[in-house]
Homo-oligomer: A and B are copies of this chain.
Amino acid sequence: MGRWGPDARGPLEQAALELCLQRGFEQVTVSEIAQRAGFSERTFYRHFADKPEVLFMGMGYLQANVVGLVANAPTAAVPMEAVIAAFEQAGAVFQENAEVLRRRQGVVDTHPELRARELSKVAALAEAIAEALRRRGAADPEAVLVAEAGTLAFRLAYAGWIRHTGQHDWPRLFRRTLEEIGGVIAGAVTHMAPGET
């Protein structure tokens, strides 16, 4: 219960997803979403800046969660270890919301405006992680490199996870994806002398 009464976000998100799946994102209005969830349009805009935002509520939670876990990682953890552990732990909620996340992704993937919003959210996630690492004492460029590498692994692992919801153990998939990114880089840069093209 917030100061505005019962939290409208969950019901608004659910209503938006149902309406988008039925009729397509463009055809659905904020007024309809609000009405279906039993709230006013004004309440919708109190929680979400615009219509696309209601489909990215989970990204907000994920970012807050990952940033919090990075901030509270053991002091001894190097930045990349802190980010790996944070993404592994933050993904625990994926499995219990698998069906909703899969349906949501179907809506996002079929609308360029939503795909663009997703890219902005992922970029913001990487920036927030870099900032969390700096607050732990990491310097640039390491903070940025670690945040971006971790976020790339998250994005690719999540895309694989959502295609096969329930068939992958998230922490294992995330770690394997990061290792594979490291592997393709290491395989090439050890082959080639600096400056060789």
Contact = CB atoms under 8 A, between A and B. Distances in A.
A189 to B, nearest CB: 5
Contacts of A32: none
Nearest to A84: B188
B182 A189 contact: yes
Given A116-B119, A141-B180, A175 B146 contact: no
Contact of A180 (B116, B145, B152, B188): B145
Chain A contact patch, size range: 35 or more
A interface: dominant SS? helix
Interface in A108-149: 115-117, 119-120, 123, 141-142, 144-146, 148-149
A88 B194 CA distance: 12
A76 B141 CA distance: 33
A80 B189 CA distance: 9
A179 B185 contact: yes
A178 interface: yes
A99 B123 CA distance: 26
Contact of A197 (B84, B116, B120, B197): B84
B182 A195 contact: no
Interface of A: 78-81, 84-85, 88-89, 115-117, 119-120, 123, 141-142, 144-146, 148-149, 152, 155-156, 160, 171-172, 175, 177-182, 184-189, 191-192, 194-195, 197
What are the nearest 5 A-B pairs in CB distance?
A: A182-B185, A80-B188, A119-B119, A85-B197, A80-B184
